[in-house]
Amino acid sequence: MSITTQTSVVERLNASIRDVPDFPQPGILFKDITPVFLDWQLCNDIADALVSGLSSQPDAVCVVESRGFFIGMLLAQKLRIPLIPVRKKGKLPAETRAFTYTLEYGTATLEIHKGVIKNGWNVLIHDDVLATGGTAAAAAELVKAEGGQVAGFAFIVELSFLSGKEKIAGYTPHIESVISY
């Protein structure tokens, strides 16, 4: 079943997401997913929806700090695959590979531990929201630099008006989100 046909999950997700005007700066309407985490069943159903949308079994799931960790761990558990964290610069304790990118509010640097992705692994990249695609593309570049291949992207929310899907479409045709605004 495709994610778009699972209306009960989409409806419950939409009802849980809180709009926060002027955050993190004036003129931005922030889609806050933190209320979603109060509903364990909805979190489980989101993970099920994302797993059901996969066309093949990935070797690992790469999750982006920090809200990507919550559903990302569920994805890894359901798929019985390793979870690989991608964090902001300076947060990982061992030797890392870094990638600096532009996002909607400036620039940022993400890091991944070196050697955690086996050469040729197909890696699913998960984050909470697909906005401009900069963060997802940075994670994809880190996966590629470590010898992996991007098996797909999985998001809870897509902000389609920011065209992030277009930025990451070159990595893989498999881009899923549970809900789109």
Residue pLDDT, tens place only, 48-98? 999 999 999 999 999 999 999 999 999 999 999 999 999 999 999 999 999
**Contact status, residue 47 vs residue 36, Cβ threshold 8 Å:** no
- Domain CATH for 67: 3.40.50.2020
Distance of CA 166 to the CA centre of its chain: 15
In this prediction, residue 6 carries a pLDDT of 52
Q: Which pair of structure tokens corresponds to residue 2?
A: 């495709």
CA separation for the pair 11, 36 (Å, rounded) = 12
In this prediction, residue 24 carries a pLDDT of 87
In this prediction, residue 102 carries a pLDDT of 79
Identify the bridge partners of residue 107 per DSSP, sorted by sequence position: 102
Whether the predicted model's global pTM rises above the 0.85 cut: yes
In this prediction, residue 7 carries a pLDDT of 58
In this prediction, residue 1 carries a pLDDT of 40
The 3-state secondary structure of the chain reads CCHHHCHHHHHHHHHHCEEEECCCCCCCEEEECHHHHHCHHHHHHHHHHHHHCCCCCCCEEEEECCCHHHHHHHHHHHHCCCEEEEEECCCCCCCEEEEEEEECCEEEEEEEECCCCCCCCEEEEEEEEECCCHHHHHHHHHHHHCCCEEEEEEEEEECHHHCHHHHHCCCCCCEEEEEEC
Q: Which pair of structure tokens corresponds to residue 66?
A: 């920090």
57: containing domain:
3-180
CA separation for the pair 113, 86 (Å, rounded) = 8
Profile the chain (181 residues) by mean pLDDT over runs of 10 residues. Answer: 61 97 92 96 97 96 96 98 98 98 82 98 98 95 98 98 96 97 96
- In the chain, how long is the greatest CA-to-CA distance? 44
Counted domains in the chain: 1
